[in-house]
Structure 1
């Protein structure tokens, strides 16, 4: 049977998607299922790993059925995933010992603050490229080891395994035969030495996460295992193209040269710039990252992380009930062609680049008696563009490379008002991908190249819709100045709050 298709699993913060991709790189079928967002208390965010796995099984089967193909026609299954979300499970029962702790979760902020106060951030950055922040995985695993029922006992018996969501899915899809991850996901844990390309024993000791729990680390294009009968019966499909979602989108955009950059407008937004074949110096506010691994060699990136972007629009829809669907949102934006001084700082789970204030909280500023639904919706949309401008200016300042254009993808990138406003704020073109699913395509491309499905990226074509700057510069700068004032007020409140806390949520 000819193997004319790739199957990509895209496990994101909001749900799990499966796409069938043909030899032209075209998506021929897709399936999507949301999973629950669990909020045990303020600032805590969890997912159910078993629900994620079951949704992966369902979407994969639905997508292949919708494409009208047999599993034997698949050249490979690829996995791209929400990155820093941490899972801890029992290798004997195959069950998680606790819910997955999501990248947004702030429960380890106190522990990270203790490390900072002890002067440990510099060595963490030197080895891993990352800041000391609750965003990353290591502190989450440590929390589970300390707090999950029976975790310490299972650890002593040698029954525990730790991984990000890619590791969890691959382990389940291979029936426990492969405990693996790739360079990109490993580099988001605070435990991986991005220079030596191996787990760092000192970092494991610092965070109290034994290296014995961690997966083996592979290149993003390697075959890491084979599916078992739990998925396709007696047909076994190679699993390759394992890569974190933001890095997958960078590859999907063909940002293959240093200085090329993209923004993925998902739950949060990752602004990622290709830095070449060695780590680029990262100043305050940026993190170093591995863009992907191919053939055992790493390509590096610089990243500015935005915690809330598309999630802000979801909040305005679901929590405030400001609109019911995207058509109504478009009508509201048309009713308020300007923000009339209203700004939303979406620090629902703190602020990321360039501020890195995990204790900051969201705020609406500049409201008057005439402020209504349209202005708040516009403020939510505009907040994404302001944060991306913050990120791009930081990347340019630190890398010394001027950005020619920004390539954009993700669900919110389908909003023309946002894309035009983004181009106006950056004063340079924004190239919006013809498909929103660049993470899934990027993992499919890497996996396909790895198994020989494609010989080179030149066989693949991407289509873009370009947005050119059109606003008066004075107006754009006035809007941005208002944003900076709004952020300053939120940071001021967070700083005042920090003075009265002793970070009691540290490690035992």
Structure 2
């Protein structure tokens, strides 16, 4: 039996699994990820060593649960959360905490870069608070001493690969935005124009290429894997799309974890406003990550005081309740939005509340609001590609909920297909490892062999008129409330007219009327 160690470093958890050559998970260990250190300034950081501790703990759990299988591991592949930067010095030590995908402190710096850099460069318009170039420029301005010591920039999974092998490397998918910025346009590149040295870029490998072997001298249980090849892999979205079998022309994918990622896969590098076009090594994806998803459901459950038990069971219980004839509209922008708006100042809203609305109405509104955002991204991508997606491959934790799957199918008007693997990121990492080992001639061949379908949800024609009407109102609400969101955020910043409300509230005196 062939066994590989597949790992998925997510936004809120770390999962490791021993996967065999049929794609079956023989053993799995999951642990909660380190909480990011967030504050009102837009800061969101995690110490890189916290991820190394997670990898060590998860693999120790696997080695204890299935020692014979762990000793049979032939290769390692780690996929991981992206849009997160690890800053290393010349000796490979982290200079500071990593900036996570939620960090918005570079927003003003990004605006300045867009204003002064070459507007004709294809990456100029994409520079925002979440862009690695803006993060690097922010570091140069705000922490010049750390910037002066910067020798290499890695993604979290690259950092773990480095700790395992001693080699600093990444892949062109995970580093796509920075590589595009570094590409010359009319003899000029944005990296140099922004004062960022190209030397901070690590070596670039294909996801199925080997970074190196597990080096000696590491703590247990890695001493049992010395010399085993570690493959570069890629970000968690790319790996999950492979694990869903959606890495093929004309397919759409929707990964719903802490946040959602949606896109359409095509042969040509089409472009659409607000969407990312990324070379996925022979195919191109058009779409990208949002700031909303299953975490929005968790927020709702906490708001209703129902966050003490299983999230899936709690949302199922809410959805089984009575629903009022007049639905609610929910704008899901609780922490700004990435694709397709790239606006950290967008905020959420519940529209249409009346006295009869209850928990079930709120639950449906949240699921439908996220699905409306899915439809916006899907339609933009399809229009740019000039074709309709044949189906949406749906994965992640939310894919276990059949109500949400059907809502997505009905609102988007496309079949939603749920793969059998409950952890497509892990399966995708395993497919990378088996392909790198030469067990399959290509990723496409490995997908055909190892990915199976569990359920298919067809759009219900009877619901189309209602959902088309709801979607039209959703778009109207977005347009009307976006300026108010921005003004509200600006007014609440330090020195703004609303900045003191929270302080005044804590000191307020309650008057009792007899």
TM-score range, shorter chain: 0.7 to 0.9
1:232 maps to which residue?
222
1:63 Cα offset (Å): 2.4
| 1:243 shift after superposition | 0.8
Structure 1 position 417, deviation (Å): 1.2
Q: Residue 110 of structure 1 contacts residue 503 of structure 1 at CA under 8 Å; is this kept in 2? A: no
SS of corresponding position for 1:349 = coil
- 5+ residue gaps, structure 2, are 496-514
Q: Which one scores higher on RCO, CA 8 angstroms, separation ≥ 6?
A: 1
* TM-score, scaled to structure 2: 0.86
SS in 1 for 2:68: coil
* Aligned twin of 1:316: 300
Q: Hey, what does 2:396 align to over in structure 1?
A: 410
Shift of 1:449: 0.7
**Structure 2 residue corresponding to 1:172, chosen from 158, 163, 169:** 163
Residue 336 of structure 1 deviates from its aligned partner by 4.0
User: Offset of 1:171 from its aligned partner?
Assistant: 1.2
Q: Report the counterpart of residue 74 of structure 2 in structure 1.
A: 75
- The CA deviation string for residues 377-413 of structure 1, in whole angstroms up to 9 with x for no partner, is 2222222211111111111111111112111001111
1:424 matched to which residue of 2?
A: 410
**Equivalent of 1:218 in 195, 205, 208:** 205
Distance 2:408 2:376 in 1: 11
Match of residue 492, structure 1, among 454, 471, 483? 483
What per-residue deviation string (whole Å, max 9, x for no partner) do you get for residues 129-167 of structure 1? x71122222222332344348414534xxxx32111122
Distance 1:52 1:321, change over 3 A: farther
Query: Counterparts of 1:432-471 in structure 2 under 5 Å?
Result: 432-455=418-441, 456-457=445-446, 458-470=448-460, 471=462
Larger radius of gyration: 2
| Matched residue, 2:4 | 6
Contact 1:345 1:490 in 2 (8 A): no
What SS class does the counterpart of residue 212 from structure 1 fall into? helix
2:22 alignment partner, SS class: coil
Describe the shift of the 1:318–1:469 C-alpha distance in structure 2 as closer, same or farther (beyond 3 A).
same
User: Partner residue of 1:183?
Assistant: 172
Distance 1:496 1:116 in 2: 22
Separation in 1, partners of 2:265, 2:199: 32
Distance in 1 (CA, whole Å) between partners of 2:239 and 2:433 is 11
State the partner residue of 2:509: none
Task: Report the more deviating stretch, 404-413 or 245-254.
Answer: 245-254
Instruction: Indicate the SS of the match to 2:16.
Output: strand
Give the distance between the partners of 1:429 and 1:337, measured in 2 at CA.
25
Give the count of matched residue pairs. Answer: 482
Aligned counterparts of 2:305 and 2:143: Cα–Cα separation in 1:
36
TM-score (norm 1): 0.87
The equivalent position to 1:204 in structure 2, one of 176, 186, 191, is: 191
Question: Does the 8 A contact of 2:266 with 2:283 survive in 1?
Answer: yes
From 110, 113, 122, the equivalent of 1:112 is: 110
Superposition pairs of residues 49-448 of structure 1, within 5 angstroms: 49-92=48-91, 94-118=92-116, 120-125=118-123, 131-148=126-143, 150-155=145-150, 160-174=151-165, 177-189=166-178, 202-229=189-216, 230=218, 231-233=221-223, 235-236=225-226, 237-276=228-267, 278=268, 280-291=269-280, 293=281, 298-318=282-302, 321-324=305-308, 325=310, 326-337=312-323, 340-448=326-434
